[in-house]
Structure 1
């Protein structure tokens, strides 16, 4: 597997080279795409390899830029990374882990927020870690306070520098009692990656329980960790002295699967998503059924299509097992074609409706309420940061000139352009490569009409 090099697609295009797409929309997307391991698991499992005393093998690794960033960060810390015994698999050998210079870490991290998760493993292996200024998609405040507070409870010393944060553990790391203010996925991962080698027992309350978290626990258990899950979001971790490498096939990327499902609905097409599974998508499938989508669950994937006119729906994003925040953006594109008023309450991030400006420019009837909507039945408790989007449809979309703002919003813009009549120009599509493997090839596989012009 070649990570983040130009890939030549079947028709001679350079995958990953273009930053601008010219899209001619108005035709159904029909065909088959395959999804590999989840971005939100693969990158964390790669970091977990740092904890082992022997090499690890990770399978179904997608060829995306976030994986390339983590690979380069591992390599600057002395981890040897190479292709393993089958396509799409990596061997990660951490036996020669060493400290890296701040400048190297900063240069290789780019806009990624993944360096924060290196802290626990590096503190165990080297006694110190460095975090540069963190980037990521600009979808609202994503503070690292939960991470730093947890690391301090483990015994880490945190020093803030002009260029980032340096951490040390002069007395080693010890088990801790941690209660997260919010079931943050990143903070839960931080605690897991730190607690497995800490001295003593760690009790984590209000933990995230997403499928990717459960898969990370499976990875760590394969390495020799002792982790149990109790009711009401409580995870217990008994620290061990030594961990070995793992051999693991990553859980599929349910975010990408949901994105292609929404594309099928928006364009009135039919897309089979190979590798998708029902259990991890249960909540999403329930919403699709309410919207009027058809889906067939097969042994090797799920087929998505419309079953007649789309119906309006009210959705509240939430942590798992609720409706994922990453699902709402592509779904909103489909809801612009539903008959009636749909409402999406975003309760996870406070600035995730910025992408709708482009949809309105294309003809959508969407009104964003920056402080949410009061009243009405709710299942998810209100949060001070939440927003709401009201979508009235169906509205025909027309081509426009669009600039991609973030990963999921960018995918949604591409699907809106493919839904719209006429030609659209979508700029800054490189962001989409953070989470969608061989994106241009997959668009071609479902019949999209586009050119790479950048």
Structure 2
């Protein structure tokens, strides 16, 4: 067991670089299974989810060479074998192997996915799309068996009953080698979907409309190798921007795409956060006289659910009374009791969070209940007077590359302790 120990109350300053997007790379790696040649990814973050995915594809027979942020995967040795349940169960994004294995082999036997407990996150939309393309689905204990009919997968018109990033990407993975045309209506529009579509197109796929609510895929027989730069992680960028506003005395956050963060930046401006937007960076000044706001999450390009929790500690600095409503995940409130343990005036009723401020936080032993809740507790620990000990940090290490080193360079007193 490891924990993060933070001695808070220290102002931070300097520069921090955003790593490649977790929510892209966890789909890009399974997508490479569809290639007939090696693929190189640049900007791969050093997170445990990537470690797990590499373990899985190496178990399947892929050759992997990892040098810093560059990952070269040769999928030619991959065999159609049952996916190991223990590793599959360790992360949510393992469900992308459903689409990629179906697309390559016309069948897959995989364990059910794991990940953070954020409430019901059914994969019925994924399975409905696969069935529309001709897949047959059955369950065998802890495994799911997916198999195409004798004539393989066929293009289909698929309407997503709700907007789903995972189902949109998984459908693209299954459809790129299916016979004919697949149309995904009510598709999710997140930047990570565009990133995956860009990789697939560079491998020889024919995908149009990624980033809109209608994606059209013309099936191809083969996909070749390519080199691809992973987009910057907009959630990590938002986390460090919120941190900079909460405890910074001048922090420059680099490798940022502003257009991916417009809803988030808009809410910070509403609070009165002073910052300067540069071409690929955002400079956050020392803050005074912040005001409370109301936040409601929604699918992209709305306010991202993944940024709701990292924003919460900054809201606790604001004057007045405000609220947060997460319309995506019902358990995105589990950070609230932990913040209250640190002295925050914050409560929940159902999925609505209500807070009053400004607050003075005090260090305390707290527990990360999921990835973004963990990020919120790190920021709160940096704000608080005294020592904060965070347990369950495996959640944090799943999604924030070199977070201890990056914060230490800004002047934080933070360390990883066994």
Q: Same fold (TM over 0.5)?
A: yes
Aligned partner of 1:147 in structure 2 is: 126
Asked if structure 1 preserves the Cα contact closer than 8 Å seen for 2:9 and 2:382, the reply is yes
Asked if structure 1 preserves the Cα contact closer than 8 Å seen for 2:179 and 2:219, the reply is yes
Aligned partner of 2:288 in structure 1 is: 308
| Structure 2 residue 84 is the aligned partner of structure 1 residue 120 | no
CA distance in 2, matches of 1:332, 1:396: 14
CA distance in 2, matches of 1:411, 1:146: 29
Structure 1 residues 348, 97: CA separation in 2 closer, same or farther (over 3 Å shift)? same
Aligned partner of 1:214 in structure 2 is: 194
CA distance in 2, matches of 1:48, 1:190: 9
| Structure 2 residue 411 is the aligned partner of structure 1 residue 428 | no
CA distance in 1, matches of 2:41, 2:115: 24
Counterpart among 60, 75, 94 of residue 94 in structure 1: 75
Q: Name the SS of the counterpart of 2:77 in structure 1.
A: coil
Larger displacement relative to structure 2 (299-308 or 234-243): 299-308
Aligned partner of 2:172 in structure 1 is: 192
CA distance in 1, matches of 2:373, 2:406: 18
Aligned partner of 2:27 in structure 1 is: 44
| Structure 2 residue 328 is the aligned partner of structure 1 residue 348 | yes
CA distance in 1, matches of 2:277, 2:410: 19
Counterpart among 213, 230, 233 of residue 253 in structure 1: 233
TM-score by length of 2: 0.96
The 5-angstrom pairing of residues 152-301 of structure 1 reads 152-171=131-150, 172-229=152-209, 233-301=213-281
CA distance in 2, matches of 1:450, 1:138: 26
CA distance in 1, matches of 2:225, 2:361: 51
1:279 CA displacement: 1.3
| Structure 2 residue 47 is the aligned partner of structure 1 residue 67 | no
Structure 1 residues 231, 130: CA separation in 2 closer, same or farther (over 3 Å shift)? closer
Counterpart among 52, 60, 71 of residue 77 in structure 1: 60
CA distance in 2, matches of 1:230, 1:335: 34
The 5-angstrom pairing of residues 9-24 of structure 1 reads 19-24=2-7
Structure 1 residues 97, 219: CA separation in 2 closer, same or farther (over 3 Å shift)? same
Q: Name the SS of the counterpart of 1:293 in structure 2.
A: coil
| Structure 2 residue 395 is the aligned partner of structure 1 residue 395 | no
Structure 1 residues 76, 330: CA separation in 2 closer, same or farther (over 3 Å shift)? same
Larger displacement relative to structure 2 (248-257 or 264-273): 264-273
Asked if structure 1 preserves the Cα contact closer than 8 Å seen for 2:100 and 2:170, the reply is no
| Structure 2 residue 383 is the aligned partner of structure 1 residue 404 | no
TM-score by length of 1: 0.89
CA distance in 1, matches of 2:63, 2:102: 19
Aligned partner of 1:440 in structure 2 is: 404
CA distance in 2, matches of 1:116, 1:136: 11
CA distance in 1, matches of 2:360, 2:385: 8
1:154 CA displacement: 1.2
Q: Which consecutive residues of structure 2, in runs of 5 or more, have no partner in the other structure?
A: none
Structure 1 residues 60, 232: CA separation in 2 closer, same or farther (over 3 Å shift)? closer
| Structure 2 residue 117 is the aligned partner of structure 1 residue 134 | no
Spell out, residue by residue over 1:116-164, the C-alpha distance to the aligned partner (whole angstroms, 9 max, x if none).
1112221232232122132111111111111111111111111111112
Q: Name the SS of the counterpart of 1:198 in structure 2.
A: coil
Cα root mean square deviation, aligned = 1.6
Q: Name the SS of the counterpart of 2:237 in structure 1.
A: helix
Structure 1 residues 422, 355: CA separation in 2 closer, same or farther (over 3 Å shift)? same
CA distance in 1, matches of 2:251, 2:118: 28
- Hey, which bits of structure 1, 4+ residues long, moved more than 6 A? none
Q: Which consecutive residues of structure 1, in runs of 5 or more, have no partner in the other structure?
A: 1-17, 371-386
Asked if structure 2 preserves the Cα contact closer than 8 Å seen for 1:261 and 1:305, the reply is no
Asked if structure 1 preserves the Cα contact closer than 8 Å seen for 2:82 and 2:108, the reply is no
CA distance in 1, matches of 2:211, 2:198: 18
Spell out, residue by residue over 1:4-30, the C-alpha distance to the aligned partner (whole angstroms, 9 max, x if none).
xxxxxxxxxxxxxx7112221112222
Q: Name the SS of the counterpart of 1:284 in structure 2.
A: helix
Asked if structure 1 preserves the Cα contact closer than 8 Å seen for 2:65 and 2:73, the reply is yes
Structure 1 residues 27, 208: CA separation in 2 closer, same or farther (over 3 Å shift)? same
